[in-house]
C-alpha cells in the first residue's frame, strides 16, 4: 500500500499538478495569445494521456511502460523531457538493474526533477546514473538558487526515508545561492536478483 502511495505521489499526481499549472497558464493566455494557449492545451492533452497510462500501469502493479520496455535511460530521458528546464541525462549502466531497484531509481529522479521544475529557479540541470561494484548511484544537479532542505516539505524527506528503507543513501547539498546536488545510492542487484 505504501508503495502505491509513493508511486502515485511521484508519478501521476506530480504529472497532474503540472497539468493543472499548465492549464492555468493556458487559461490566462486565451484572450491575449490564442495560438500559445492552443499549444498549451495540446501539450496538456498529451500529459493527460501520459497520466492515464501511468495510472493504468500502477493499477496493474507494474512500472511505467517506458521503464519496463526500454529501461532506465529511456525512462529518465522521458521524465527529463517534461522538466521545465533543459536536463542532460547520462546513464552508464552495462546492464539493467533488478526491476525493484530500477523502479526506485526512476521514481527518485522523477521526484527530484519535479522539485527542480517547481522550486529551484534553475536554468539547467543534469542527471547522471552509474554503478560501482555494489551500488547504483544517481546524481541530480541543478544551477538554481539552492536552499533545499530535508526539513522543508515531505518530498525530499520522503525520498531519504524510501532510500533508507532499502539500504540506500540520500545526500542533499544545497547551499543558499546554489547549486543543488542530490546524490542517491541504492544497493546493486541485477535482473537475477544477485547483488553486485
**Do β-strands 169-173 and 180-187 pair in parallel, antiparallel, or remain unpaired?**
antiparallel
User: What is the CATH architecture of 71-196?
Assistant: 2-Layer Sandwich (3.30)
pLDDT digits (tens, 9 = 90+) for 136-179: 999 999 999 998 888 866 678 888 988 998 999 999 999 999 99
- Contact yes or no for 146/177 (Cβ under 8 A): yes
What mean pLDDT, rounded, does the chain reach? 88
pLDDT digits (tens, 9 = 90+) for 93-129: 999 999 889 999 998 999 999 889 988 899 999 999 9
**Side by side, which strands form the sheet with 180-187?**
87-92, 125-131, 135-142, 180-187, 169-173
Rounded (10°) CA dihedral 51, 54, 58, 62: 180
What share of the chain in percent tops pLDDT 70? 90
Instruction: Count Cβ atoms below 10 Å from residue 81 Cβ, excluding itself.
Output: 10
Q: Where are the domains of the chain?
A: 1-62, 71-196
Does residue 7 surpass a pLDDT of 90? no
- Say what the pLDDT of residue 76 is: 96
**Helix, strand, coil % (nearest 5) of the chain?**
55, 20, 30
At 23, the pLDDT band (50, 70, 90 cuts) reads: very high
Q: Which residue has the higher pLDDT, 75 or 4?
A: 75
Task: Return the sign of the alpha-carbon dihedral for residues 14, 182, 5, 97.
Answer: positive
Q: Which of 129-133, 164-168, 190-194 has the highest mean pLDDT?
A: 129-133
- Say what the pLDDT of residue 3 is: 63
Amino acid at each position: 500500500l505504501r508503495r502505491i502511495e509513493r508511486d502515485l505521489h511521484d508519478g501521476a499526481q506530480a504529472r497532474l499538478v503540472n497539468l493543472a499549472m499548465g492549464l492555468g497558464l493556458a487559461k490566462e493566455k486565451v484572450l491575449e495569445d490564442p495560438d500559445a494557449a492552443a499549444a498549451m492545451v495540446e501539450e496538456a492533452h498529451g500529459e493527460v494521456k501520459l497520466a492515464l497510462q501511468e495510472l493504468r500501469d500502477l493499477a496493474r502493479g507494474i512500472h511505467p511502460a517506458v521503464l519496463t520496455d526500454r529501461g532506465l535511460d529511456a525512462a529518465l530521458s522521458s521524465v527529463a523531457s517534461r522538466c521545465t528546464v533543459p536536463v542532460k541525462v547520462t546513464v552508464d549502466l552495462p546492464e539493467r538493474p533488478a526491476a525493484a531497484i530500477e523502479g526506485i531509481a526512476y521514481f527518485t529522479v522523477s521526484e527530484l526533477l519535479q522539485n527542480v521544475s517547481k522550486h529551484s529557479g534553475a536554468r539547467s540541470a543534469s542527471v547522471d546514473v552509474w554503478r560501482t561494484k555494489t551500488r547504483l548511484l544517481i546524481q541530480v544537479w541543478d544551477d538554481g538558487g539552492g536552499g533545499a532542505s530535508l526539513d522543508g516539505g515531505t518530498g525530499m524527506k520522503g525520498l531519504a526515508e524510501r532510500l533508507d528503507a532499502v539500504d540506500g543513501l540520500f545526500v542533499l547539498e544545497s547551499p543558499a545561492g546554489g547549486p543543488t546536488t542530490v546524490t542517491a545510492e541504492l544497493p546493486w542487484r541485477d535482473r537475477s536478483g544477485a547483488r553486485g
